[in-house]
Amino acid sequence: MSHQTVIVLDFGGQYNQLIARRVRECGVYCEVKPYTTPLEQIRAMEPIGIIFTGGPNSVYDPKSPQVDPAIFTWGVPILGICYGCQLMAHNLGGRVTEAQDDSAREYGKTETYFDTSCRLFKGLPAQGITWMSHGDYMEKVPEGFALVAHSGACPNVAICDESRGFYGVQYHPEVNHTEHGTDMIRNFLYEVCGAAGDWTMGDYKETAIRQIREKVGDGKVLLALSGGVDSSVAAALVAEAVGSQLTCVFVDHGLMRLNEGDEVEAAFKKWDINFVRANAEDLFLGKLAGVTEPERKRKIIGEEFIRVFEAEAKKIGQVDYLVQGTIYPDVIESGTGDAAVIKSHHNVGGLPDYVDFKEIIEPLRMLFKDEVRQLGRELGLPEYLVMRQPFPGPGLAIRVIGEITKEKLDTLRQADFIFRDEIAKAHLEGTMSQYFAVLTNMRSVGVMGDGRTYDYTLALRSVTTTDFMTADWTRIPYEVLDRVSVRIVNEVPHINRIVYDITSKPPATIEWE
C-alpha cells in the first residue's frame, strides 16, 4: 500500500529526525532526504508537502547548503524551520543578516504571539512559549509574505504566503520546549497539505518485516540482545520475520545493574529463539582498566562487544547478518551528515573497521524511543518489557565517572538498586522516563558516628522526556529523595554524600559521560 508522503529536506540541524518523528506522530508517512537530493528525485516521490529543516549555517554564506530554486515554482507546500525559513526568505527576495545585537539573536524559551487567522496556527492559543536557537535574522521579508508571529525581540518569528502554501518559522516546533509545536506541524500537514492521515505503526511493522525477509533470504542472523527495550523489540521483529534463522546473543560485559544478567537470561530463555549468554566480565574490565576518558570507554566497549559476537558467531557457523537495536537518537548523537558529534554511542561510533559479517541490519534506526515501544506493542511484547527504562549499551561504565574498578561498580550497583527500589515503592516509575545513580569521581569529608569519613559523592539523575533528545529533570518529591539518601548512605559503604542533578537536556545530556 502506498501512502501520502512528506519529505523532510535535511540541512544539517540536530533535530531533523525529530521533525520526521512529529510528522509520523501526526499519522503521515515521511522520509528525510539530504538537501543535495536532486529535485527530479523528490518530485518523483510525489510528496504532498516539504519541510526544510534547521541547520548550523548562514544562508548568506556562499558555501551554505542551498536548494534548487525550481522547488518554489512547482506548487508544493513548503514549511521552513529556522535555517529552512531563512533559506526560503533568501530565495524569494527577502534579506537575512547576522543579528547585530543580542536582542535580535534568540536562544531558549521565548514568549511568542501568533496570528491565529493563519492556517498554520488555526485553533491554537494566540500566545505561547517557543524554543529559539538562531543567530541570524530576517531583515526583510519577501514580497507576498505576511508576518504571522512575533516575540518581544523579533517582529518576524513566522511568515507565510498562504496563496502559495509557503510558511516559515524561526523557532523549533519539533522540540518539546515549544508549546503546541506538534499541533502547528499537524496544521501544516492537514490544513495546508491536505493530509489524510493514512500511516500507522502497524504499517511500519509490516514494511520492516517484509524488508528483513527480502534482505536475509535463507541466511543466518545474529542479534545483540541486551534485554533492553530496543534490542528486545528488534529481536521480536526479526524473530517474526525469519524465525529460527535467528540466534540472540546476550553479552554480559559485567557492567549491568544488580542481578540484571540473570534476569535477562531468565526472561529470554522462555522465548522460542536460540539464546546464548556470553560471560565476558573479566575481558571487559581488563580492557577498561585505567581508562578514564568517556569516548575511549565507549570505543573500547563497542569494539570488544563486536569481538565477542564474532567469537560467538564462529561457534554457530556461517552468520550472514548482525542485527542491532540502534535507534535514531543513537545515530544522530554519534554524528551524521552535517550535525555535530555529541557522544559516539556504542553500536554506532564504536564499530571497528573490520566486522566479520556480511552486513549489519538496524531495523529501528529511524525510530525514537516511544515509537520503538509502540512497535513493541504491535509485535505483542509484554508491557513490562516494552516500558523498561532505557539502559545504555556501555552500561555502568559511563556511570562510574573516571576509572572503573569492580569495587566501584559494586558500590554503584547497590546504590542504584536502592534508588530504583524507593522509586518503585513510591509508585513514581510512570512519572519519569529514566532514573539512575552515577558514582562521581569526587570524594569529600563527612561525619558518621563519631568519626570522619572521606568518601565518594553519589549523584542521582532522573529525567522526563518522550524522545530522549531533549529532557527535563524530574521533580521527585523531597521525602522520596530523602529516603533514598538516608538508605544509600547507611547501606552502601564508601558513599557519604548524595546530590541530585537538576539540569535539563540541553544543555546537559542524560548520562554523565
Give contact residues for ligand XMP (rule: CB under 6 A): 298, 329-330, 333, 343, 345-347, 390, 392-394, 434, 468, 505, 509-511
154 is catalytic: no
- Nearer to ligand XMP by Cβ, of 105 and 505: the residue is 505
Angle in degrees, CA 113, 116, 118, rounded to 5: 115
> How far, in Å, CA of 30 to CA of 24, rounded?
6
Q: How far is the CB of 295 from ligand XMP (least distance, A)?
A: 10
Where would I find the H helices in 199-348? 201-216, 229-242, 260-269, 281-288, 294-316, 328-333
Q: Could you tell me which of 433, 434, 438, 417 has the C-alpha nearest to residue 492?
A: 417
What's the count of helices (H) and strands (E) in the chain, helices before strands? 14, 20
- Nearer to ligand XMP by Cβ, of 52 and 468: the residue is 468
**Could you give the C-alpha distances from 380 to 19, 213, 227, 385, in angstroms and in order?**
28, 19, 16, 10
User: Which residues have CB under 8 Å from 268's CB, separation 6+?
Assistant: 225, 227, 235, 248, 250, 275
HSE at residue 211, side-chain half, CA atoms within 13 A, is 11
Name the active-site residue from 172, 177, 345, 346.
172
Q: How far is the CB of 206 from ligand XMP (least distance, A)?
A: 26
Angle in degrees, CA 473, 474, 476, rounded to 5: 140
The answer to whether 134 touches 106, Cβ cutoff 8 Å, is yes
Q: How far is the CB of 423 from ligand XMP (least distance, A)?
A: 16
**Could you give the C-alpha distances from 451 to 454, 486, 498, in angstroms and in order?**
10, 17, 19
172 is catalytic: yes
Strands, E assignment, 99-232: 106-114, 127-134, 136-140, 146-151, 158-161, 166-169, 221-224
30 is catalytic: no
- Nearer to ligand XMP by Cβ, of 54 and 329: the residue is 329
H-helix or E-strand spanning residue 377? helix 369-378
The residues that bridge with 224 in the sheet, in sequence order, are 249
The answer to whether 500 touches 476, Cβ cutoff 8 Å, is yes
Q: How far is the CB of 461 from ligand XMP (least distance, A)?
A: 10
Name the active-site residue from 82, 118, 154, 160.
82
> How far, in Å, CA of 168 to CA of 162, rounded?
11
The label of the residue with cell 531563512 reads 86
Q: How far is the CB of 235 from ligand XMP (least distance, A)?
A: 15
Q: Could you tell me which of 271, 345, 343 has the C-alpha nearest to residue 305?
A: 345
Say how far residue 52 (Cα) sits from the centre of its chain: 20
Name the active-site residue from 174, 179, 333, 422.
174
Q: How far is the CB of 346 from ligand XMP (least distance, A)?
A: 4
User: Which residues have a catalytic role annotated?
Assistant: 82, 172, 174
